[in-house]
Each structure stands twice: as structure tokens, then as C-alpha cells.
Structure 1
Amino acid sequence: MLIILGLILISLIVIVGGDRGVVSLIALVGNLLLLSFAIWLMAAGVPVLFVTVGAGIVISCITLFYQNGTNVKTWSAFISVAITMLVLFFVIYVVIWSTEAGGLNEIQSVGDDILYYNMDLNISMRNVMVSVILLSTLGAILDMALTVTTSVYEVKNHKSKMKFTELVESGMKIGREVIGTTVNTLLFAYLGESLLLFTYLKMQNYSLELLLNSKILFQNFVSMIFGAIACVMVMPIAAVLMAKMLAVK
């Protein structure tokens, strides 16, 4: 069934997307192979955060430069993403280490299957959690950054006499229009994935207080929150950088 669904997806991408769809499909396969290689490196003992940073840079290059070409729009988006992720890296690191959110949550640690696995992995589970949040945040922030830079670029092309501040405000306006749908996408992706989990917790009579203080809720919810924060942060950075580059150009 997975093969059939995959073939349907590939066919639709090629038919509807045309040449750009094929390029997007190649980029998607490349990112999946890269993530698989990153997991293998982590399992082989390479520092998790080092692998995460390297994988994030390569994924950003594939997504921006390979799919959309090397131009002022993609360079502005890339630099904006790099600045935002650098700032968020330290915030995410502090939050995960202070809350001890890494490792197995309450549901995973009580499963019968846990008895049959060797848990001596010699890998920092906190660093793995930081890696998961960074990589899950990357997709949304790349999309938002490119949306803002592209909009500013198109506005400049149609109204070449616009000033720097007007271009920045134009990019921010576009960002405000799409930020709501982006946050909703992150929220419903989380809720859809966790629907069965919430049903299980309800059947086990988890109290609201226990649920709000549980590691499982924090682990599942923190990625969505940081993804939304990253999308909001990258908007002004991308708008200012794009306007600045166009002004220099």
C-alpha cells in the first residue's frame, strides 16, 4: 500500500508540477537520503549537534538553491534562515536541557517492548531532542523566508521607485497574511499526529494537571511552538535583508 500511495504521489507531482515538480521530487528524495545518512552518522557516534548543523545547511541549500536557483531571493532567504536558526539554537538548547525533555516519555517508558531493547546507546538524548526540534522547524522557516523574499523581489520589480522602508513593510504585510495559515498547519499536523495519543490518555483517566506537566505533551508540543516562533522571527529578518540587497543592487 505504501508503494501504491508513493507512486500516486510521484505521478501527481510530475503531472501537475511539470518540470518544477520533477525538480521538487528530486530535492525531496535528496533530503530524505541526507536525513537517513545523518541518522546513520549519529548512530555511528558522530556528535549529534554537529551532524544536525551540517544536515540543516545542506537541506537548506537543496531546498533553496537547487529548487529555486541561485539568486538574490534565495540568498536572502538562506541568510535569514541561518540567522534565525542560530538564535533559536541557543534558546532551544537551554529549554531542552533545563526541562530535561530528552529521552523516553511516560508512555514509551512503560511499554512491554522496552524490556527487549538495549538502552545503553552512548548518545545524549537531550541533544537528540534538540536535533529533532531544529530539523522539524527548518521546513516551515524555509518556506516562510522564501515567501517573504520573493514577495519583496516582485514588488521591487513592479515598483522600482519604492523606498527601503516601503519594501520592508511590503514583505512584512505578506508575512502577516501567511503566518496564520502556517501556524495552523503546524498546529493541525501536531493534533492529527497525536489524536490517538490523546484518546489513550483520556481512556487512562489522566488528569488535566498530570497531562499539562507530562513529558509527552511537552515533547510533542514544543516543536510546534518553536516552529511558529521561528516563522514569526524570520519575517522581519528576511524582509530587511531582501530590501537591503535590492537597494544595493
Structure 2
Amino acid sequence: MNVLVVLATILFLLMVLIGGKKGAKSFISLFLNFGVLLITILFMNNPNNSPIILTIIACVVISCISLFYINEVNRKTIAAFISTIITIVILLFFIVVVAKKSMIQGFGEEEIDELSIFSLYIGVDFVKIVASVIIMSTIGAIMDVAISISATMHKIFSHNPLISRKDLFTSGISIGRDILGADTNTLFFAFFGGYLALLLWFKDLSYSIGEIVNSKVFSAEIIMILCAGIGIALSIPIASWISAYFIMKTTEKKKV
């Protein structure tokens, strides 16, 4: 517990020192978002509640906290918010189909021994739970891409007010291409960092490469990474188009 407090204090001091007021808000938003996730999980435990609907509601609230609370309500955050929600809705339908076809829901055979003393009849649709987990693990990266593109496009427009919507959109796509590789690699290495012990366990169990790839635990995580990467790639054109639309629409209103 003391280690957690010390690390949290160091993080808070660094965020305030480097980010100032926004850094303090960012630190507070971590706990607010954690509270949203905790409440969402509690509601998912009720079989009468749809995990998909709860996930969308949670993503909306998390996006509001991460965008509007930290960066306030303005053209950049509104464009990023709309882009994030559209991407999540599109991705959610895609993920539900992938989860059903790949059958990654539930528990792998490596986990059965530890769960054998518990009842698995909990009355929850695990396909929807898997879809919710993937979305929750992707929301941060999607928001990061959306706000990065939106903020940069606004900066480009402020330096070149005569730029056309098409050229502005092209600039957003170019920015997104630079972000895409870094964010995708972040997701990839986060998986291997978090599941290094699992890979070592596979080695101790003398699993072949084929058995590792086809194990439910491993394939589920890889599918999560791939779906998250698809979400990041999908958010680039969406964020670019919406940001370009908002910038030009606001400019036209000011001229009128």
C-alpha cells in the first residue's frame, strides 16, 4: 500500500509540474474513469442489463471526462468526441461478429483448474463481455488519436486560414499515419509486457508454436490487439473528416 501511495504521489507531482492545471485534471480523471469502469462492471453483473449498451454509455462518459473535463468544451474536443463515439459504435458491431466467429469468449483450458471450484453458470453472455473488454481496452488509444488529429488540424488552420477542406483533410490523414505506427506498437508491447508470464508458462508446458497460437487465452489477446489496431486506423479518417468539417463550418458561420 505504501508503494502505491508513493508512486501515485510521484505521478501526481510530475503531472502537475509538467502539465500544470491540465496535469492535475488528468490525474483526477484517472480516478474518475476508474470509478466509471467499476460502476459499469457492477451493472454488467445483472443479467437483465446489456453489456453492449453499458459499454457504449461508459465510453461516452469516459470520453466526456477525458476530453471535456481536461481540455474543456471547444471545437477540438467536440470534434474528437464525435469521432471517438462514431469509431466505437462501428467497431463494436464488428467486434461482436468477430467474437462470435472466433469463439474466444469464456475461459481457456489453462484456467479451468483454478476455476473448477466456482460455478460458471453466471447468466451473462460472454460474447458481449468479450466485445466490451476489447472496446474498453481500445477507448484510450482511439481518444488519443482523435484529439491529436483534431488539435493539430486546428493548429494548421490557424497558421493557414486559406487552406481548403480537402487539403485540411489530407493533412489530418498524414498526421494519422505518423500516429498509427506508434499507437499500434504500444498496444502490441503492452500485451507482451502484461502476458510475459503466460508465455513463459506456455514454454514450461512445452507448447508448440501451433498450440500457443491456437490456445484461447493467447488468441483472445491477439484478436484484442488486432481489433484495437483496426479501431485506431478507422478513427484516423473519421477524425480527419469531422475535424475538417467543424473547422470549415465554424469559419463559414463567422464570415456570415
TM-score (norm 1): 0.95
Equivalent residue, structure 2, for 1:171: 172
Tell me, what secondary structure is at the counterpart of 2:210?
helix
Mapped partners of 1:122, 1:3: distance in 2: 37
1:104 paired residue number: 107
Matches within 5 A, 1:184-199: 184-199=185-200
Distance in 1 (CA, whole Å) between partners of 2:146 and 2:139 is 11
Contact 2:59 2:85 in 1 (8 A): no
**Higher deviation after alignment, 14-23 or 94-103:** 14-23
Larger CA deviation: 180-189 vs 3-12: 3-12
Shift of 1:131: 0.6
| Aligned-partner SS, 2:221 | helix
Aligned counterpart, 2:247 = 246
* Mean CA deviation greater in 17-26 or 39-48: 39-48
Q: Secondary structure at the match of 1:116?
A: coil
Give deviations 1:12-33, integer Å, cap 9, x for gaps.
2223322111111121111001
Residues 173-222 of structure 1, C-alpha deviation per residue, up to 9 Å, x if partnerless?
11111211111111110111111111110111111112222211111111
Q: Is the 8 A contact 2:56 2:89 kept in 1?
A: no
* 8 Å CA contact retained: 2:15, 2:27: yes
State the match for 1:228 in structure 2. Answer: 229
Out of 67, 78, 81, the position equivalent to 2:70 is 67
Q: Which residue of 2 aligns with 1:94?
A: 97
Letter in 2 for 1:16: I
Structure 1 counterpart SS, 2:127: helix
The unaligned stretches of length 5 or more in structure 2 are 251-256
Counterparts in 2 of 1:106 and 1:238: CA distance versus 1, 3 Å: same
d(CA) in 1 for partners of 2:109 and 2:75?
47
Could you say which residue in structure 1 is the equivalent of 2:181?
180
Q: Structure 1: 5+ residue runs without aligned partners?
A: none
Residue equivalent to 2:4: 2
Match of 1:219? 220
Q: How does 1:128-167 map to 2 (within 5 A)?
A: 128-167=129-168
1:2 and 1:116 mapped to 2: Cα distance? 32
Q: Deviations over 1:48-93 (max 9, x none)?
A: 1221111111111111111111111111111111221121111100
1: CA distance, partners of 2:166 / 2:228:
27
Q: Which amino acid aligns with 1:69?
A: E
Give distance in 2, aligned partners of 1:216 and 1:44.
25
In the other structure, the counterpart of 2:45 is 43
Match for residue 84 of structure 2 among 59, 81, 86? 81
Matched, 1:23 2:25: yes
The CA deviation at 1:115 is: 2.7
TM-score under structure 2 length normalisation? 0.92
Structure 1 stretches (4+) deviating beyond 4 angstroms?
Answer: none
Deviation at 1:43, TM superposition (A): 1.6
CA–CA distance in structure 1, aligned partners of residues 5 and 103 of structure 2: 39
In the alignment, the residues of structure 1 paired with residue 18 and residue 84 of structure 2 have an alpha-carbon distance, to the nearest angstrom, of 29
Structure 1 distance, partners of 2:179, 2:52, is 31
Q: Give aligned-pair identity as a percent.
A: 32
User: What is the CA-CA distance between 1:168 and the residue it aligns to?
Assistant: 0.8
